[in-house]
Amino acid sequence: MVLRTVVISLVLGLTIWLASLDGNATAPAQLFLIGIVVVTYASTIVYALLLRRGVDPERLVWPQLGGDLVITTALVYVTGGAQSAYTFFYALSVVGAGAVRFRRGALVIGALSVALMLAVGLAAWTRLLPLPTLARVEPWTATAADLARQLGLNLGALAGVTVLSYIFGRELQETSASLASQRQVAADLLALNRDIVRSLSSGLVTVDLEGRVLTINQAAADMLGNGAARSPGKPVGALLPGIDERLRKLTPGGTLRRSDLTLPGPEARVLGISVSPLRGDNDTVIGRVVNFQDLTELRTLEETMRRAERLATVGQLAAGVAHEIRNPLASISGSIELLGQAPRVSEDDKALMAIVVREIERLDQLINELLEYANPRPRTLVRFDLLSVISEVVQVMRQDKSRGEVRLETELPDEALELTADPGQLRQVLWNLCRNAAEAASGAVGGAVVT
């Protein structure tokens, strides 16, 4: 549109200027030329306003081509009809139609141009329309032979331009269709690639050879958080602390198969990273692709499994040691009981034997605790009355004569206190508390009270 306006302005401006230098030029002809320029500018402004209002450019093509033919016909008529120097404007319209409307445009505008050129040539020669003409341009003075020769040359040239424009339009249409198809394929591939990267469950970050982030997928942004989606252009070390050192150790085409990277923070996270080269169209290395997954839960599970294996080993060892220790302890305990039943055992011997039996029981309790630690049984959660469990433990503890002068007292509320827990483990806890308290207070002079 701009080129069209510039060409018409230059050509008609030059024509008006030359006509003004010729004193024989008629004023109406000059005014007519100025009118053509005004109409051209006005139509251009209208087209521009319609485009700014969002009108589809395809809807303006045919009106613009038709307007150009009208302006060209008027210009040719006023400048001499078949003898006009501006008949090449018809050829320009045909070429333009072939460029924007391909084969159909070239044929339609070419046929109209031939018809209009023939009509305007005959109209000017026969003075059918009394329009003003420039000085020394009198098409009606030409002979029929001259008119036929001039029209034949112009129409032949225009027909040749039409054929060439048709061929040009066909090639351009096929090329445009091919480009549109390739553009659609490229767009589909780009969308597919974008969908694949977005659908990956692992993090994917691309960096250039200087270590700056190029792209980051959604999974990586979700894993890293804290504005990671705005990382392109920033150093990769700010996104993944510690990885820049590993990248520097790699050659441009080197790879890192699998490596753990621990991210600092309140809750340490472990990422399993791998690095591969990012290659361009000509297979040159233009950066690196960093792929990573969050292995925190996996590493925690592995550590739990290793701990469980160690506990299982300790449990097996504890069970074996307990078996080996309990056998001699049972023999010792049985022997002490037999010695205590002998008729001539002094009181000092009985006291010593009681100490031995008490220590044997203490060793057996330690073995039970070791077995409980090495191989804890699963908890059984039930709802029960805590006060009844406390009463049972205290009552059994009071029957233990080994605590000496230690007295156990309780201060319990009247109403029941129910809770959900493992009564067996809670009973063991209470038993250990009472026993430890009794042992700690057993050495007091005059007895002691444990509440």
Which of 376, 394, 421 is the endpoint of a domain?
A: 376
Contact status, residue 142 vs residue 75, Cβ threshold 8 Å: no
Residue 191 within a domain? no
Q: Are residues 221 and 235 in the same domain?
A: yes
Check residue 445 and give its pLDDT: 47
Q: Which domain holds residue 337?
A: 296-376
Q: Are residues 426 and 317 in the same domain?
A: no
Q: Are residues 305 and 371 in the same domain?
A: yes
Q: Are residues 361 and 389 in the same domain?
A: no
CATH of residue 363's domain is: 1.10.287.130
CATH of residue 451's domain is: 3.30.565.10
Which of 241, 275, 294 is the endpoint of a domain?
A: 294
CATH of residue 236's domain is: 3.30.450.20
Q: Are residues 231 and 285 in the same domain?
A: yes
Residue 195 within a domain? no
Residue 338 within a domain? yes
Tell me the CA distances in angstroms from 245 to 179, 236, 250, 271, one per residue in order: 45, 10, 9, 16
Residue 186 within a domain? no
* 367 φ/ψ sector (left φ>0, alpha ψ -120 to 50, else beta): alpha
Residue 206 within a domain? yes
Q: Are residues 370 and 389 in the same domain?
A: no
Residue 194 within a domain? no
Q: Are residues 275 and 390 in the same domain?
A: no
Residue 306 within a domain? yes
Q: What is the DSSP string of 155-222?
A: HHHHHHHHHHHHHHHHHHHHHHHHHHHHHHHHHHHHHHHHHHHHH-SSEEEEEETTSBEEEE-HHHHH
* 127 φ/ψ sector (left φ>0, alpha ψ -120 to 50, else beta): left
Burial class of 69 by CB neighbour count within 10 A (0 to 12, 13 to 18, 19+)? buried
Residue 192 within a domain? no
Q: Are residues 271 and 325 in the same domain?
A: no
Which of 294, 319, 346 is the endpoint of a domain?
A: 294
Residue 451 CA to residue 428 CA, distance in Å, equals: 18
Q: Are residues 72 and 142 in the same domain?
A: yes
Helix and strand numbers, DSSP H then E, in the chain: 12, 9
- The model carries a pTM of 0.49
Q: Are residues 148 and 10 in the same domain?
A: yes
Residue 290 pairs in a beta bridge with 205, 275
Q: Are residues 25 and 84 in the same domain?
A: yes
Question: How would you write the pLDDT of the chain (451 residues) with one tens digit per residue?
Answer: 566 667 767 776 776 676 666 555 556 666 777 777 788 788 888 888 888 888 887 888 888 888 889 888 888 888 788 888 888 889 988 998 888 888 888 899 999 999 999 998 888 888 887 666 554 567 777 888 888 898 889 899 999 999 999 999 889 888 888 888 888 988 888 888 888 877 788 888 888 888 888 888 888 888 887 677 677 888 888 888 888 888 888 887 788 888 888 888 777 788 888 888 888 878 888 888 888 888 888 888 888 888 888 877 877 777 777 777 777 877 887 787 777 777 777 777 777 777 787 778 778 777 777 777 666 666 678 888 888 888 887 777 776 666 666 777 777 787 778 888 877 778 778 877 877 777 777 655 444 455 5
Domain count for the chain, please give it: 4
Q: Are residues 19 and 167 in the same domain?
A: yes
